[in-house]
Structure 1
Amino acid sequence: MKDNLIFDENSYTVEMLELEGKNLVYRAFEGIRYLNRPVDGKMQILSIFVPEVFYKGGSIGAYNLKNAPIFFQNTVGGYMPGPSERPGRNFMGNVNASFEALLHGYVVVSPGVRGRGMKDKSGRYIGTAPAAVCDLKAAVRFLRHNAGSVPGDVGKIISNGTSAGGALSSLLASTGNHPDYEPYLKAMGAAEESDHIFAASCYCPITNLDHADMAYEWEFCGINEYHTMKFGYPESGEDKPEITSVDVCMTDVQKQMSAELKHQFPSYLNSLNLKDEEENKLTLDEHGDGSFKEYIISVAAASVQKELDRGTDLSGLDWISIQDGKVKEIKFDGYIAFRTRMKVTPAFDNTAMGTPENELFGTEDLQYRHFTQYSRKHSEVNGELADEQQIRMMNPMNYIEDKKAEKAKHFRIRHGAVDRDTSLAVSAMLAVKLRNNGVDADLEYPWGIPHAGDYDLEELFTWIDGICR
């Protein structure tokens, strides 16, 4: 069969861009097919962006055309489709990570990947799990297939994503070359290459979905009002949407489900056999208290201390005890109340279905499915339960101890200290499980940060430079 996955070094444009007083000249290779038999030829393409100075024989810092790390940026949010993105401004109007990464001397690869809600011409859903991670794997395989001609070092691919994109970044980095994904990659005509990567940057990963409801209630049970955002257009007819805060109180049934899900979490947490850096077991008792809870508090305390050291006055927060500029105690319940609840229970696998995650686990013909036994049992709509294998393939926790999965060597996980979209426990379990299996995993809860990503690019790039030396 003819190999159609050859990188064309001569198909490019040279672009110039000035943003925030910074000037960038880069070479753009766009619209590159990374599959022989794509499901959606418009979405399953990638772009490669390279500092133009590299083609003049120059370098940026220690990096040149051959040794520059590859900043592998996905744009997925809410498990929706993530199109390839050019350097410039993101949907919020801020300078995007790709622009800054090129200025720093990285090669940027932006793959377009499928997501929930996508349909083909016959009306079948084509973006359900595990479509997105398979597309990312295929894009990595394309880069490795063209090692030597593609710019940058294919041995130094660093994935970056936020929210669902952060989850996919963690999944891509945890499942390298695992046979579970092979049938999907073969069907699409992916290159027969390795799809493991060097490192992963994961901002607020919405992951471990099949245990996320119980983790959320372990944290927020007892907080019965939830505060969410409503999007709409003003009656004046203006084009710009209004965003308003909506306060709702949970029903008695939802409160009962919250208590039941919280009660389930310790059993799952204890089954992971997590240990801290001193080999002490991280566990929870039947009430949800224990060394794992203290570990979460310690990560939060480190975030508070970092902010105190910057000179921020936190004396008005009565759940933090500070003495001589040092954090002495954080009261967990006070901290969680300070963050506030965002989602009604169950937060992810809703008993009425309709969440982004319910759609993620659909089929070609069914838009929504349940993905936990609990919500299937309590389903208000008699919803189907997703296949066990489909659920398994979207959770990196299932592959960290699996010898058939080649893990990335380095993970950087950031979960904002006031991020309410998922439990703090989700990122903590991921980081600790990785460390327990010999993987370098850097975890922080950055102070004052909500559900967001790419807010600390200078620190991210310092981390990348450090692991690439």
Structure 2
Amino acid sequence: MHQKNTTLKACALGASLLLALAACGSGNDSNAAAAVGVSDSALVFDSAKYTTINVTIDGAQVPVRWYREVCYVAKPVAMAATQTALNGSSTTIANTACGYQSMNIFVPESAAASNDTALYFAVNNSGWFASYIRASVADGASFDSATSHVGAALKAGYVFIDVATRSRGVAAADGSWPGKAPAPVVDAKAAIRYLRLNDARMPGSASRIVVNGTSGGGALSSIIGASGNSADYLPYLASVGAAGIDASGQSTLRDDVLAINAYCPITDLGNADLHYEWLYTAFGTRAAVGRNPNPSGSAQLAAKFSAYQQGLKLANSDGAALTADNMMDQIRQEVIRSAEVYMAAGGTIPDLGEAMPYTSAGAAKSYINDWLDVDNGARKVVSLDMEKYLKFVATQATLKAAPAFDQTGMSVTAASGESNLFGTDSQKYSNFTEYGWDNNDAHGDGIGYDDTGITGSRHFSLAATPIMTQVKLVNPMAYIGTGGSSGADTAPYWYVRHGTRDRDTAFTVSINLARALQADPNVQEVNYRLAWNQPHAGNYDVPEAMAWIAQALKAAAAKGL
């Protein structure tokens, strides 16, 4: 790996970048084609264009090179100066030209001459929302590497990259909505391709990309990791002037990555409502916590989960078919494992009837443990009451109304969900499930049976309707295990966490993701766990996650990956 990178850098010294790319290949990719992408000449990284800033990590001063707002596409979408959030609040952005399709690159000075250090690629799409360019590193900042993934990555000598992407809610200067799926995936892939193209000119190795994200960012991380090099995205990449797309629309670069570090991924959106309703109606949880505003809809959606789950043809942890009949036991086993890992690490869990403390937004809080009986001395779980556990989860944060994700246009929910991730760029949103479409009662929005007279089943089957393609292009389950030239190259290393107090997306989503990855022969390791006593959040386990990344990088090097 190091030798390939050094060879390309030496070759680049004796020729222009484009000639070097054509003669030597791109980045560390031994299979790179000699052809040059039509936008490559506009995407040359300027290695001298940086500002040196100083940060403090664990009390020690660390100089960092900051490459500011590097635009990673040749044809960025011009954005409106005023962006409006879902709650109606407005934000004025400074970089309307490329603020949603650029990245801030931070290189610790100690790694500036490195050919093979990792690139820590952070996507920042909470709730699948568009991510305007941000800088997680600022001059004079101070980091504790035990709690900050930013500080820990820089201390480890990794190049830290903040990546901006279009996604739901972002408004273009021409009044269109250019963040519709698969825009966030396309932009992230375009950023990866930029790194591959410029590997010879940049510190680190584009063959050692580790993608980090939480919530919608965890979902984006997951589809990036699952769909590497898939031809499905090439037309979209060409449209924004991504690196490595030639005149015939074929790829001359790779966009697969090495490792994924994902937290509470909100993914499998096309089926997420089924997951959610099945989980929270199986034991009557919705009714028990007084959050059942749409009982008929909940029942309809939950009833479809069994057939969906069976159709995945996944295996559970014992090797048997993973079905709706044994899924609840899988969740139970994962929660027990989470508690026992916590106790094995020295943690103490209160007895039944005692207060269980936790910290939220810096404040000390607690709840009464009425669902888990443990033996702290033996570090074992004695029993777990799943009905009470799910009720506990549902009291940590109010359950979403049904449908939980495709909600827009339904008076029964008075909420929005992820519906504005889908539809054409001339539509503010579109329902993306049959239930959402058929039950949309917002007259005049042009969406749903009420306005079109067309059922969801019929609408989504029409060739002119992009929805089902959009749903696929953001769903890792559609790509994991497809393998090689006919499908996608899934990242070989995965670290996935989902908090045991997380009510934002169903536990079944992450369990299915983990089981699918474990069945993929090209995946080397899946480190999956429900994180003890954590809500919908991420990067709460920095030392453990960073140790895993270091181990994955070492294992990959040993395997020549």
Shorter-chain TM-score above 0.5:
yes
State the match for 2:126 in structure 1: 77
State the match for 2:421 in structure 1: 360
- Structure 2 runs not aligned, ≥5 long: 1-37, 79-97, 245-252, 353-368, 449-455, 457-465, 555-561
State the match for 1:287 in structure 2: none
Correspondent of 2:538 among 430, 449, 453: 453
State the match for 2:152 in structure 1: 100
State the match for 2:476 in structure 1: 396
State the match for 1:28 in structure 2: 66
Correspondent of 1:199 among 243, 248, 259: 259
Residues 148 and 542 in structure 2, CA contact (< 8 A), matched pair in contact too: no
Residues 213 and 263 in structure 2, CA contact (< 8 A), matched pair in contact too: yes
Q: Which amino acid aligns with 1:43?
A: Y
Q: Say yes or no: does 1:335 pair with 2:375.
A: no
Correspondent of 2:404 among 335, 338, 347: 347
Measure how far apart 1:313 and its partner are: 2.9
State the match for 1:378 in structure 2: 439
Matches within 5 A, 1:7-406: 7-18=45-56, 21=59, 23-40=61-78, 41-55=98-112, 65-88=114-137, 97-192=149-244, 193-221=253-281, 222-224=284-286, 249-251=291-293, 254-284=294-324, 290-309=325-344, 310-316=346-352, 317-323=369-375, 324-340=378-394, 341-350=398-407, 352-353=409-410, 355-381=416-442, 383-384=447-448, 387-403=467-483, 404-406=487-489
Measure how far apart 1:225 and its partner are: 6.1
State the match for 2:527 in structure 1: 442
Distance 1:390 1:435 in 2: 25
After superposition, the C-alpha distances for 1:210-266 in whole angstroms (9 at most, x for unaligned) are 111111111111223698xxxxxxxxxxxxxxxxxxxx7433xx0121122111111
Measure how far apart 1:398 and its partner are: 0.8
After superposition, the C-alpha distances for 1:296-351 in whole angstroms (9 at most, x for unaligned) are 11111111112333231331233223344411332221110111152111111116
Distance 1:12 1:330 in 2: 55
Distance 1:121 1:325 in 2: 58
Higher radius of gyration, 1 or 2: 2
Percent of aligned positions with the same letter in both sequences?
Answer: 33
Distance 1:306 1:98 in 2: 25
Matches within 5 A, 1:411-430: 411-430=494-513
Measure how far apart 1:48 and its partner are: 1.4
C-alpha distance 50-225 of structure 1, shift in aligned 2 (>3 A): farther
Measure how far apart 1:42 and its partner are: 2.5
Measure how far apart 1:66 and its partner are: 1.5
Distance 1:50 1:196 in 2: 22
After superposition, the C-alpha distances for 1:65-87 in whole angstroms (9 at most, x for unaligned) are 22211100011112222133323
Q: Say yes or no: does 1:466 pair with 2:502.
A: no
State the match for 1:245 in structure 2: none
C-alpha distance 430-411 of structure 1, shift in aligned 2 (>3 A): same
Residues 417 and 449 in structure 1, CA contact (< 8 A), matched pair in contact too: yes
- Structure 1 runs not aligned, ≥5 long: 58-64, 228-247, 285-289
Q: Which amino acid aligns with 1:388?
A: M
Distance 1:402 1:16 in 2: 45
C-alpha distance 97-297 of structure 1, shift in aligned 2 (>3 A): same
Measure how far apart 1:276 and its partner are: 3.0
Q: Which amino acid aligns with 1:461?
A: M
What TM-score, normalized to structure 2? Answer: 0.73
Aligned length: 431
CA RMSD, Structure 1 to Structure 2 (Å): 2.2
After superposition, the C-alpha distances for 1:403-449 in whole angstroms (9 at most, x for unaligned) are 31111001111000101100000000011011111222211111111
Partner of 1:123, secondary structure, is: coil
Partner of 2:518, secondary structure, is: helix
Measure how far apart 1:4 and its partner are: 1.2
Residues 186 and 237 in structure 2, CA contact (< 8 A), matched pair in contact too: yes
Distance 2:520 2:72 in 1: 32
Distance 2:174 2:198 in 1: 34
After superposition, the C-alpha distances for 1:79-106 in whole angstroms (9 at most, x for unaligned) are 22213332348xxx99753233112211
Partner of 1:328, secondary structure, is: strand
The more displaced of 367-376 and 304-313 is 304-313
C-alpha distance 388-445 of structure 1, shift in aligned 2 (>3 A): same
The more displaced of 192-201 and 341-350 is 341-350
The more displaced of 340-349 and 353-362 is 353-362
Distance 1:23 1:355 in 2: 45
The more displaced of 363-372 and 37-46 is 37-46
Measure how far apart 1:377 and its partner are: 2.1
Partner of 2:69, secondary structure, is: strand
